[in-house]
């Protein structure tokens, strides 16, 4: 039966899924006509109705929201790769200044060009130069219609859908001129970068080298869900095409962009003289180490917009701006040794041991060499003098070997083909960058790493079970599998006897272990340390199967790739065939099933709570004004029980504003932002409590 006229409230799950599929296709079709060929088939109002219906269904059935949901994008998505975009005005690069003389010369050139007296001060704004990727955001009638990467400056890639997943980038701007192209920098903070690499390490995926690479890789994902979870930030710093002038100064422009909801770097300041510019440079350089994002210099821009226009550009750089670069945080030292670490899944990772060297504000003794191919590509050898580079909190890396200083008797580094711990063969399947120990159960390095993972913070979080203790208990054959941890209570007397353990710390440890006898299923699944099963996937599996027995039964049935169980498994959100294969392989191994069963007898595993399904789950609501049918506290509690988030102030993230009597400024702001404003009765009707 056709579902296209069924009210959203009356749809069943199955019908809703079908309807979302139909709407996704239909909206995409109209988008393509509109954006790609400028030949719309339907009125704007009819088009808006399709989008609203899609949103309403998604609100009622959040779990059915599609990966290609039209609510996540604007404009036509290219079928493969990204469409090319020609920039309305080229995205220029900046000339460089390396010292004070260069900056002085820049100011002198500006004066000469504008015919100013040498005594006349020029207001120049100094902005930190963010080390990220340039992005151009085009708003038409206040709506984001296109986001494009810099590309070669003339032509970039259309990444609109991805840009819309950044919380720093508003989809709409109230009060913008008809055409407004904002340019700025997308970056990844150090903390987000650390979290991302931690997740990747857990899932046994290759790590990103630095935040800029990570930001670039994250922004240019064909699957926008991946971009969305990468926590990218954005700073606006200039304009492309605009239909009307915005401000008389660059500082005024930034202030206006800030008012429109675009993030502006808070460090930028207007300077009146060369000395002030250089003092600002020194200040930013000093702050650099404590910022949560990478900056690699300071950009100086003539503040007056009319002067910028007069100055124009020479070749591909503006005359009114220059980048004053920071010295690189690099240093030379001796590579004393290359150690190979063995991870929980047997991955062999090379680590450079260095003669201590001071770089970027800290003493460095270790650096990453990434992998076998990187060592070969750079031809880094033990005994070499190497260049080390460090940026912010990022793990230092070996940039290159200084060949002039290479000892005469040096030998190319031979990456081991056997595990340095258990001596099993280490193999590298074709097409992979990681070489792995094949020792499996006999490899103590893997076993110890698996136990460390099992007790780690996001898994069983057992306090008092540190690396040293695990290694000790493993070596003495007291703890060989996770279940042995729960058997420690029978060995209290042994433990107290151990050197440096002490009876109180044993009491504390055993209490911490007992405290974990009841534990969430998702953390149990994560704790097993199965390849590619990170926290997010573990959670999805726990939700999908509800119990350990349910999971094992389903995964066992899924060994047959023709089965329904297999189809169900790979259909779980974000679960690809690769991940499913690792999961199936883990439970296909008899030993692993024994270890899991042995462990499970000690535990009560809690199934995840069902997600509350309501028309407002996942939505952000703001209550304002005097409510008449309920108190503010009651309204908040009820909304939260239905899965909504209640916020104190209106922002572009707000979904609904519920306005009581005398609603005032919040309601006004909501109207300016074009948000849905509901009366108290409309709200009650929406959440199914008749007025």
* Cβ proximity to Zn ion, 441 vs 510, nearer residue: 441
As a whole number of angstroms, the distance between CA 93 and CA 620 comes to: 40
Nearest one of 180, 291, 188 to 235, comparing CA atoms: 188
Is the Cβ of residue 159 or residue 421 nearer to Zn ion in the bound state? 421
Supply the DSSP string of 461-529, one letter for each residue.
--TT--HHHHHHHHHTTS-SSHHHHHHGGGGHHHHHHSTTT-HHHHHHHHHHHHTTSEEEHHHHHHHT-
Q: Which is nearer to Zn ion, 221 or 592 (CB)?
A: 592
Q: Quick one: which segment of 99-107, 411-419, 580-588, 639-647 binds Zn ion (CB under 5 A)?
A: 411-419
Characterize the bridge pairing of strands 84-86 and 155-157.
Answer: antiparallel
Q: How far is the CB of 621 from Zn ion (least distance, A)?
A: 54
Tell me, by CB under 5 A, how many residues bind Zn ion: 7
- Cα–Cα dist 384/412, whole Å: 10
Q: In residues, how long is the chain?
A: 691
The nearest distance, CB 447 to Zn ion, in angstroms, is: 9
- Least separation, in Å, of the C-beta of 420 and Zn ion? 8
The overall longest dimension of the chain from CA atoms, in Å, is: 89
Instruction: Check if the beta carbon of residue 558 is closer than 8 Å to that of residue 544.
Output: no
134-163 footprint of Zn ion as x/- string (CB under 5 A) = ------------------------------
**Token pair for 382:** 């033990």
Rule CB under 5 A: say whether 465 interacts with Zn ion. no
Closer by beta carbon to Zn ion, 421 or else 579: 421
Contact set for Zn ion, span 413-432 (CB under 5 A) = 419, 421-422, 424
Cα–Cα dist 677/288, whole Å: 43
Minimum CB distance to Zn ion, residue 429 (Å): 17
Residue (of 260, 215, 254) closest to 236 by Cα position? 254
Q: Which is nearer to Zn ion, 278 or 422 (CB)?
A: 422
Strands across the sheet containing 143-149: 143-149, 133-140, 179-188, 232-242
Q: How far is the CB of 592 from Zn ion (least distance, A)?
A: 17
Q: Which two tokens stand for residue 403?
A: 């060949």
Q: Is 243 exposed, middle or buried (0-12, 13-18, 19+ CB in 10 A)?
A: exposed
- Per annotation, catalytic residue among 65, 129, 301, 452: 129
What is the C-alpha separation between 573 and 169, in angstroms, rounded?
26
Measured CA to CA in angstroms, residue 351 lies from 103, 213, 331, 340, 365 at distances of 41, 21, 18, 6, 10
- The 583-622 site mask, x for binding Zn ion (CB under 5 A), equals ----------------------------------------
Query: What string of DSSP letters covers 233-281?
Result: EEEEEEEEEESS---SBHHHHHHHHHHTT----TT-EEE-SHHHHHHHH
Could you give the string, one character per residue 429-448, with x where binding to Zn ion holds by CB under 5 A and - elsewhere? --------x-x---x-----
Q: How far is the CB of 444 from Zn ion (least distance, A)?
A: 8
Q: Which is nearer to Zn ion, 218 or 349 (CB)?
A: 349
Q: At closest approach, how far in Å is the CB of 446 from Zn ion? A: 6
Give the nearer residue to Zn ion in terms of CB position, either 299 or 437.
Answer: 437
Shortest CB 441 distance to Zn ion, Å: 10
Minimum CB distance to Zn ion, residue 346 (Å):
6
Closer of 223 and 432 to Zn ion (Cβ) = 432
- Mapping DSSP to helix (H, G, I), strand (E, B) and coil, where does residue 50 land? helix
For residues 129 and 435, which CB has a smaller minimum distance to Zn ion in the complex?
435
Catalytic-residue membership of 539? no
Q: Considering only CA atoms, which of 636, 674, 682, 640 is closest in space to residue 654?
A: 674
CA distance 527 to 482: 9
State the catalytic residues. Answer: 129
Residues of the shown chain interacting with Zn ion in the complex, contacts defined by CB under 5 A: 419, 421-422, 424, 437, 439, 443
């Amino acid at each position: 039966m056709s579902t296209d006229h069924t009210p959203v409230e009356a749809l069943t799950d199955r019908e809703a899924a079908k309807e979302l599929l139909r709407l996704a296709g239909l909206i995409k079709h109209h988008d393509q006509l509109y954006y790609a060929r400028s030949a719309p088939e339907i009125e704007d109002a009819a088009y808006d109705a399709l989008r609203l219906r899609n949103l309403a269904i998604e609100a009622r059935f959040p779990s059915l929201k599609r990966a290609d949901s039209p609510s996540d994008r604007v404009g036509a998505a290219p079928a493969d790769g990204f469409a090319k975009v020609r920039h309305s005005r080229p995205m220029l690069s900046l000339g460089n200044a390396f010292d004070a003389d260069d900056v002085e010369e820049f100011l002198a050139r500006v004066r000469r060009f504008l015919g100013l007296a040498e005594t006349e001060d020029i207001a120049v704004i100094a902005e930190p130069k963010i080390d990220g990727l340039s992005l151009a955001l085009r708003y038409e009638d206040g709506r984001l219609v296109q986001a494009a990467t810099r590309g070669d400056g003339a032509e970039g890639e259309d990444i609109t859908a991805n840009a819309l997943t950044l919380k720093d980038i508003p989809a709409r701007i109230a009060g913008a001129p008809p055409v407004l192209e904002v340019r700025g920098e997308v970056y990844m903070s150090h903390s987000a970068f650390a979290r991302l690499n931690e997740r990747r390490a857990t899932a046994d995926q290759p790590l990103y080298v630095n935040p800029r690479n990570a930001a670039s890789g994250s922004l240019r994902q064909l699957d926008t869900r991946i971009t969305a979870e990468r926590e990218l930030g954005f700073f606006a710093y200039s304009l492309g095409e605009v239909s009307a002038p915005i401000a008389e100064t660059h500082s005024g422009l930034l202030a206006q962009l800030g008012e429109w909801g675009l993030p502006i770097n808070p460090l930028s300041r207007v300077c009146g003289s060369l000395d002030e510019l250089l003092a600002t440079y020194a200040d930013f350089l000093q702050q650099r180490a404590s910022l949560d994002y990478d900056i690699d210099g300071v950009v100086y821009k003539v503040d007056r917009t009319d002067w910028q226009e007069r100055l124009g550009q020479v070749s591909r750089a503006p005359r009114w701006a220059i980048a004053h670069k920071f010295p690189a945080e690099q240093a030379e030292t001796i590579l004393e040794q290359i150690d190979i670490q063995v991870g929980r899944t047997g991955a062999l990772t090379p680590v450079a041991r260095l003669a201590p060297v001071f770089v970027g504000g800290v003493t460095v003794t270790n650096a990453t060499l990434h992998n076998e191919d990187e060592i070969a590509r750079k031809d880094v050898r033990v005994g070499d003098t190497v260049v080390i580079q460090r940026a912010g909190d990022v793990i230092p890396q070996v940039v290159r070997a200084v060949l002039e200083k290479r000892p005469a008797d040096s030998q190319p580094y031979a990456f081991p083909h056997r595990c340095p711990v258990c001596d099993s063969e280490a193999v590298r399947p074709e097409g992979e960058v990681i070489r792995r120990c094949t020792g499996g159960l006999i490899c103590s390095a893997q076993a110890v790493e698996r136990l460390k993972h099992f007790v780690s913070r996001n898994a069983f979080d057992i306090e008092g079970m540190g690396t040293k203790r695990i290694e000790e208990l493993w070596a003495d054959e007291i703890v060989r599998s996770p279940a042995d941890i729960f058997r420690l209570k029978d060995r209290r007397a042994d433990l107290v006897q151990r050197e440096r353990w002490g009876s109180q710390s044993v009491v504390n440890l055993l209490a911490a272990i007992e405290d974990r006898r009841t534990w969430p299923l998702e953390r149990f699944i994560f704790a097993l340390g199965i390849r590619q099963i990170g926290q997010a996937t573990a959670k999805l599996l726990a939700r999908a199967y509800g119990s350990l027995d349910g999971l094992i039964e389903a995964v066992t049935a899924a060994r047959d790739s023709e089965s329904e169980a297999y189809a169900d498994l790979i259909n779980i959100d974000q679960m690809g065939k690769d991940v499913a294969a690792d999961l199936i392989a883990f439970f296909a191994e008899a030993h692993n099933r024994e270890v899991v069963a042995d462990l499970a007898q000690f535990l009560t595993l809690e199934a995840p709570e069902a997600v509350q399904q309501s028309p407002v789950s996942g939505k952000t609501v703001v209550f304002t004004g005097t409510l008449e049918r309920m108190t503010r506290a009651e309204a908040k509690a009820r909304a939260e029980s239905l899965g909504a988030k209640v916020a104190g102030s209106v922002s572009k993230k707000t979904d609904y504003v519920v306005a009581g009597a005398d609603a005032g400024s919040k309601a006004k702001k909501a109207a300016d932002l074009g948000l849905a404003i509901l009366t108290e009765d409309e709200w009650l009707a929406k959440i199914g409590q008749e007025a």
